Amino acid sequence: MNNNKPYIIGVAGGSGSGKTFFLKCFLHHFNANEVCLISQDDYYRPKSTQKIDENGWINFDLPEGIDDERLLHDIQLLLNGGSIRKKEYTFNTDEENARLLNISTAPIIIVEGLFVFHYPKIAALFDLKIFMDADEEITLNRRISRDEIERGYTRDMVMYQWVNHVMPAYKQFLLPYKDSCQKVILNNKHVADDIIEISKEISEELKEMALLK
């Protein structure tokens, strides 16, 4: 590790754009002590405080649903050489039973999530911004497959959220930041080769910048 401050990368993209798979591929090119990952999803406020729409549905696709001040605080701890302990958010696990995560700083810090470019104080910290992009029909099909399997939703339930929550939030709180990103990765294919190659290229660029010693 060098003596400079950590290099911080922001990764955002709409639901079904492939953030999770890209990050899995990207992290594969580093040792555990070279990079750390912090997810915006782990900073959701309690369900009891989330906004309810006119039909009684919780809208998880709003920036105010995230405790961005706590997220910023933890990012700054990592930037200053510290470590953080936090609970992991998963849709089907309540906070009481959530896994406790211990995250130590590293030369490369990755912050990922829907709204990480929307919060000005957080966005200002990024040395590199990556935007995962995909056509709407493709992302919708991926969302349907995920929610039917992982969340037990019917197709009608998925479509309701997509039309009323997901796409309005994407267009208002995420898409406007696409042009400010240094790298935009199009992920429309159903094969993994392109994402694997792109993640390798970016990892090699970072290593050439002498971020790791």
Q: What is the pLDDT of residues 139-168, one digit of tens each?
A: 999 999 999 988 889 999 999 999 999 999
* Average pLDDT, integer, range 43-48: 90
**Res 208: pLDDT:** 85
Which CATH code fits 7-208?
A: 3.40.50.300
* Average pLDDT, integer, range 161-185: 97
Task: Please state the pTM of the whole predicted model.
Answer: 0.90
Q: Which residues contact 208 (CB under 8 A, 6 or more apart)?
A: none
Distance of CA 39 to the CA centre of its chain: 5
- The secondary structure of 69-87, three-state, reads HHHHHHHHHHHCCCEEEEE
Q: Which residues contact 153 (CB under 8 A, 6 or more apart)?
A: 147
- Residue range 89-120, pLDDT digits in tens: 766 556 667 788 899 999 999 999 999 999 99
